[in-house]
Amino acid sequence: LQSRRVIAFAALILPAVITLLAQAPGERPAGGLTVVSREGRRSLPTRSVGGQEMTSLADLAAMFELAVHEDALADGLTVSTGGRSIILTPGQPLASVGGRLVSLPAAPLREGRTWLVPVEFINRALALISPTRLELRRDSRLVIAGDLRVPRVAVRHDAAGAEVRLTIDVSPRTAYTMAQERGRLLVRFDADLLDPRVPAFEPGLLVEALSAEAPATLAVRLGPGFSGYRVSEAAAQGNAARLVLDVLSATINVPAPERPVAERPPPEAAATPPSLDPQPPTSVRTIVIDPGHGGEDHGAKSASGATEKQVVLSVARRLRATIESRLGIRTLLTRDADVAVGLDERTAVANNNKADVFLSLHAGASVLPTVAGATVFSISLAAYGAAAQQLAAAGVPELPVFGGGSRPIEIIQWDLAQARHAERSALLAALVEEQLRSRVPMSQRPIIEAPLRVLVGANMAAVLIELGSLTNAVEAQRLAGDAYQTALVQALHEAVVRFRDRLDASRDSGGGQGRPIAGAKPVEAR
């Protein structure tokens, strides 16, 4: 659990108005890089010396407020900013950054009164001492300075028969909205700027042109044959997202029958089938598993060195393999590597992929080393209704666990997505608990209802499972072991099967899905 995180009801800080020019990064003065920041864009001249792209320290100094000192006696160059320094030695393709040596593709070269350094100096050395974030994207000819969100957006254009499919890879995953306006489809990303890769293609009857527009919009100019579109999300690697935008022709009826789609090569990952049926064949088509923690956030740690982030990733991967192979249900992980992922981002993966089930896995609940056993958390409307919202409005950053305990809990007041699914989440929690109980020891309070931040924004049935406690020595040893993980995976798999069967049965008997619960704020199914 995120027990160490203290919640911040940080005020929403409105981003400063960005005055970036409506110019794609590709349109730059030849032989230069474009530096983008909240202040705007500037060009950083570069030139090729012996096949190596170099830029001048004088230009860098002016742009990033660096002090450059040349020490003739020591035959060294010192580049400083914010009280930190880099030492360069003429003739050596190296930089010393706070005593650590980093390699450069070429040595600094004197040119008149200044020095030329390879452009890689920016990310390999300067970024390490700069008080503001610096990122060189050499292939995009960009240097990003500061906290700008500049997702890479790569578009593939496939024309097949009377349809055009645009496959849009967005990295990192970025929220977006779609709009259709005056003969154009606009994909507006929640970002400051796009770093686009837009292919060249012959203008067609459906799609005439693609362009990136300021601040962060991908525009599709539609041709006379256009009649409609559908957008879906396909599985993507790591922290990326893949949108599949099918532009449909007036000559085909919408909904379209299964047609040339099958004849063209699909994107590497299977696209989500367009949901044209009013009644999908089953209630559970996509599951998102969320291995907690990751990156520098290790979560709980056992005395023997096992970390929560490793244990939950291992269980998550095995669970994915089991569910996919036995049930054929599309199963995604919020992280498939040892990387940090924000709490809201985890929920966003589930929401953006229209998951039907969200399982967040942890293994380190207890602050008391003697407490052990598995615990299942779900949200309850009653629990986070009036009381939680009053506290949130009063700015009280911590809440006791409902039903006992005093762990700090993150709650959010502005997003009640989970409220619509509270009943189904409670059912899922009960089924998970039942299956775990028959295989592994449970904690004294095996089901707890609490408004956990990672669950609150989830727009589907969602539970958080503490698989056990790594702080308990006996349990830590079990948790790291194969047999115990297998038991956990079997329990979770079986719970998913039962949950699916229950939903399918209630749907077939006329039970409604997504029925709003009285009192809950309606949530747009974006």
Interface with Zn ion (CB under 5 A): 1, 292, 299, 362, 364
State in angstroms the smallest separation of the CB of 309 from Zn ion: 8
What count of Cα atoms within 13 Å lies in the side-chain half-sphere of residue 143? 26
Nearer to Zn ion by Cβ, of 151 and 299: the residue is 299
State in angstroms the smallest separation of the CB of 297 from Zn ion: 9
Closest CA to 450 of 380, 521, 360: 380
State in angstroms the smallest separation of the CB of 290 from Zn ion: 11
Nearer to Zn ion by Cβ, of 151 and 292: the residue is 292
User: At 492, which amino acid appears?
Assistant: L
Nearer to Zn ion by Cβ, of 361 and 442: the residue is 361
In angstroms, the CA 159 to CA 156 distance is 10
CB atoms inside a 10 Å sphere around CB 334:
26
The answer to whether residues 443 and 375 touch, using CB atoms and an 8 Å cutoff, is yes
DSSP secondary structure string for all residues of 4-38? SPPP--PPPPPPPPP---S--TT---TTEEEEEET
State in angstroms the smallest separation of the CB of 357 from Zn ion: 19
Closest CA to 428 of 494, 383, 374: 494
In angstroms, the CA 377 to CA 311 distance is 19
In angstroms, the CA 126 to CA 66 distance is 10
State in angstroms the smallest separation of the CB of 291 from Zn ion: 10
Instruction: Name 451's Cβ contacts closer than 8 Å, sequence gap at least 6.
Output: 379, 383, 384, 388, 399, 402, 409, 411
Nearer to Zn ion by Cβ, of 178 and 303: the residue is 303
Nearer to Zn ion by Cβ, of 60 and 289: the residue is 289
Alpha-carbon dihedral sign for residues 99, 105, 110, 115: negative
What is each CA distance from 372 to 341, 443, 507, in whole angstroms?
Answer: 27, 6, 38
Nearer to Zn ion by Cβ, of 204 and 299: the residue is 299
State in angstroms the smallest separation of the CB of 362 from Zn ion: 3
Burial of residue 385, with CB atoms counted within 10 A of its CB: 0-12 exposed, 13-18 middle, 19 or more buried:
middle
Nearer to Zn ion by Cβ, of 63 and 371: the residue is 371
**Token pair of 24 as six digits:** 């794609």
Nearer to Zn ion by Cβ, of 427 and 452: the residue is 452
Nearer to Zn ion by Cβ, of 108 and 364: the residue is 364
In angstroms, the CA 392 to CA 410 distance is 10
Nearer to Zn ion by Cβ, of 167 and 375: the residue is 375
Bridge partners, 361 (sequence order): 291, 465
CA of residue 10 relative to chain centroid, distance: 20
* Residue closest to Zn ion when measured from CB atoms: 362
Cα Rg of the chain (Å, integer): 27
State in angstroms the smallest separation of the CB of 285 from Zn ion: 28
State in angstroms the smallest separation of the CB of 391 from Zn ion: 23
Report residue 2: phi and psi, to 5°.
-80, 60
Nearer to Zn ion by Cβ, of 86 and 349: the residue is 349
State in angstroms the smallest separation of the CB of 453 from Zn ion: 12
**Do the bridges between strand 195-197 and strand 207-213 make them parallel or antiparallel, or are there none, so unpaired?**
unpaired
State in angstroms the smallest separation of the CB of 316 from Zn ion: 13
State in angstroms the smallest separation of the CB of 81 from Zn ion: 37
